[in-house]
């Protein structure tokens, strides 16, 4: 949080003329934004950063794009809500980490990229990334139920979604695991273009990870290599403040992650991760640099998860003031408001999209429940290299 200092004229360096000046002097470390936004102050440093954020140029919105983004974000929200229902009904097992509240990041980044051309690398909170990348809801839900029809053939479960067809390089249970994999994909793109002279090799990789990962060595090593070799990669930090139960500002010496890009001579941007157009605009700029051979970008998206760390988390560490502040920033409601105010859609159209999405989600559950479990005879399949796979 940036703090300013008040300066006063008086007959002496410390003399005060009246009680008003004494009151002002007692508040010298309070910024104008602190005074005007008590809700952000009560909600903590992370919320205060968002309130003081000066947005860079958002993406230009047209009707078709707006409706696509709304549908994608709605699918992510409704899919995760259904996962919670299935989990609490005892139909889904294991660790399940939901994405509610962060949809603007997935839709904003992946929606600006070329599906089945660019590459995506996720985390253990990977369901919505997979959906945004184009993996069918049936395949994602089947994987969560451990079925053979899942995108990872029922072997991966919630934290290990993978789809070669949709260029999803996987979800990863341990933080930081996916960043070197994403770096390898970016290196492949650059190598094909420069060494193998494949002029059409201009794919860009997006590596998603959270604020807790940014204290790990892989993060810094990969930033260094990406900038050294000008690799076409976008490092997307989904800073939702909490690394399980550790608040971000208590775990790092400099909470502003985007500034770490400067150490490597890399472009970094701080973004409102609750605004899909802000995320999309920053992604478009990063893609333009990457495809032009200008190297990587570090995007820090200030966002928030509306549920606990996982469905096993009672979510007792976060204050009600903090939760309420971020609920008021709901990215879906923000996009709907933008669409309605710009006359690009009406409420009936948006409710129709929601009903269409609900049918898709229910269908994915029905499909998953009726699908076959993996054959026990195939226990070692997909572990070692086999012919014709």
User: How sure is the predictor about 157, in pLDDT bands with cuts at 50, 70 and 90?
Assistant: very high
CA distance 79 to 305: 15
Whether residue 265 is contained in a domain is answered as yes
Q: How far from chain centre, in Å, is Cα 99? A: 8
Indicate whether 73 belongs to any domain. no
- What is the rounded CA–CA span in Å between residue 155 and residue 324? 38
Long-range Cβ pairs for the range 7-10 (8 Å, 24+): none
Q: Is the pLDDT of residue 367 over 80?
A: yes
What's the confidence (pLDDT) of residue 279? 98
Residues sharing a CB contact under 8 Å with residue 305, sequence separation 6 or more, in sequence order: 98, 99, 100, 101, 102, 125, 240, 242
Q: Is residue 206 part of a domain?
A: yes
Give a yes or no: residue 302 inside a domain.
yes
Q: What is the pLDDT at residue 380? A: 86
Are the CB atoms for 84 and 307 separated by under 8 Å? yes
Cα distance between residue 335 and residue 338, in whole Å: 5
Q: Is the pLDDT of residue 154 over 60?
A: yes
Q: Which residues contact 36 (CB under 8 A, 6 or more apart)?
A: none
**Predicted pLDDT at 222:** 98
Residue 122 near residue 347 (C-beta atoms within 8 A): no
In this structure, is residue 43 part of a structural domain?
Answer: no
pLDDT at 388: 67
Domain range holding 276?
79-372
**pLDDT tens across 165-178, in order?**
999 999 999 999 99
Q: What are 255-274's pLDDT values in tens digits?
A: 999 999 999 999 999 999 99
**Per-residue pLDDT band at 32 (split at 50, 70, 90):** very low
- In tens, the pLDDT along 188-230 reads 999 999 999 999 999 999 999 999 999 999 999 999 999 999 9
How far is residue 322 from each of residues 45, 226, 306, 379, measured CA to CA in Å?
10, 36, 11, 46
Stronger pLDDT, 250 or 1, i.e. the higher one: 250
What is the three-state SS of 277-308?
Answer: HHHHHHHHHHHHHHHCCCCCEEEEEECCCCCC
Q: Are 160 and 173 in contact, with CB atoms under 8 Å apart?
A: yes
Q: pLDDT band at residue 276, thresholds of 50, 70 and 90?
A: very high
Strand 205-210 to strand 233-239: parallel, antiparallel, or no bridges (unpaired)? parallel
CB atoms within 10 A of CB 375: 10
Instruction: Name the nearest CA neighbour of 301 among 250, 252, 235.
Output: 235
Q: Is residue 15 part of a domain?
A: no
Give the integer Cα–Cα distance in Å for 284 and 275.
14
Question: Based on the number of CB atoms within 10 Å of its own CB, is 169 exposed (0-12), middle (13-18) or buried (19 or more)?
Answer: buried
Question: pTM for the whole thing?
Answer: 0.88
Residue 306's pLDDT band (boundaries 50, 70, 90)? very high
Q: Which range among 43-47, 289-293, 326-330 shows the weakest confidence by mean pLDDT?
A: 43-47
Q: Rg (Cα) of the chain, in Å, rounded?
A: 23
Cα–Cα separations (whole angstroms), residue 280 to 110, 183, 311, 345: 9, 21, 29, 20
pLDDT on residue 30: 40
Where residue 160 falls among pLDDT bands split at 50, 70, 90?
very high
Whether 200 maps to a domain, the answer reads yes
What's the total number of domains in the chain? 1
CA distance 11 to 152: 75
In a domain, 232, yes or no: yes
d(CA 59, CA 254): 29
**CA–CA gap between residue 339 and residue 334 (Å, rounded):** 9
For the residues 21-30, what does the mean pLDDT come to? 40
Average pLDDT, whole number, for the chain?
A: 90
Question: Residue 152 maps to which CATH number?
Answer: 3.40.50.970
Task: Specify the pLDDT at position 11.
Answer: 33
Work out the average pLDDT over 355-384.
94
């Amino acid at each position: 949080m940036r703090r300013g200092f008040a300066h006063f004229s008086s007959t002496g360096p410390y003399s005060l003329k009246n009680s008003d000046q004494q009151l002002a002097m007692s508040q010298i470390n309070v910024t104008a934004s602190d005074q005007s936004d008590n809700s952000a102050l009560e909600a903590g440093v992370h919320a205060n950063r968002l309130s003081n954020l000066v947005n860079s140029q958002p993406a230009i919105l047209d009707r078709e794009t707006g409706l696509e983004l709304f549908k994608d974000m709605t699918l992510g929200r409704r899919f995760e809500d259904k996962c919670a229902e299935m989990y609490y009904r005892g139909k889904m097992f294991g660790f399940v980490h939901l994405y509610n509240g962060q949809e603007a990041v997935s839709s904003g980044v992946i929606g600006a990229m070329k599906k089945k051309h660019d590459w995506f690398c996720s985390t253990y909170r990977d369901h919505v990334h997979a959906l945004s990348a184009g993996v069918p809801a049936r395949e994602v839900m089947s994987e969560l139920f451990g079925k053979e029809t899942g995108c990872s053939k029922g072997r991966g479960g919630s934290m290990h979604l993978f789809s070669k067809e949709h260029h999803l390089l996987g979800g990863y249970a341990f933080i930081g695991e996916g960043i070197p994999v994403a770096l390898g994909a970016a290196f492949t793109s650059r190598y094909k273009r420069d060494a193998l002279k494949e002029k059409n090799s201009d794919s860009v990789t997006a590596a998603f990870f959270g604020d807790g990962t940014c204290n790990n060595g892989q993060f810094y090593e990969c930033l260094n290599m990406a900038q050294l070799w000008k690799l076409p990669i976008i490092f997307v930090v989904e800073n939702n403040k909490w690394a399980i139960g550790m608040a971000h500002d208590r775990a790092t010496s400099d909470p502003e992650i985007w500034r770490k890009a400067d150490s490597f001579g890399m472009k970094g941007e701080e973004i409102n991760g609750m605004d899909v157009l802000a995320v999309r605009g920053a992604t478009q700029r990063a893609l333009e640099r990457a495809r032009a051979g200008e190297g990587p970008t570090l995007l820090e998206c200030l966002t928030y998860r509306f549920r606990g760390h996982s469905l096993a988390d009672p979510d007792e560490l976060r204050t009600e003031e903090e939760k309420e502040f971020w609920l008021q920033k709901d990215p879906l409601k923000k996009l709907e408001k933008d669409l309605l105010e710009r006359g690009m859609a009406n409420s009936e159209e948006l409710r129709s999209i929601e009903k269409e999405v609900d049918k898709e989600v229910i269908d994915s559950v029905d499909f998953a429940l009726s699908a076959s479990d993996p054959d026990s005879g195939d226990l070692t399949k997909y572990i070692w290299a086999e012919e014709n796979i």
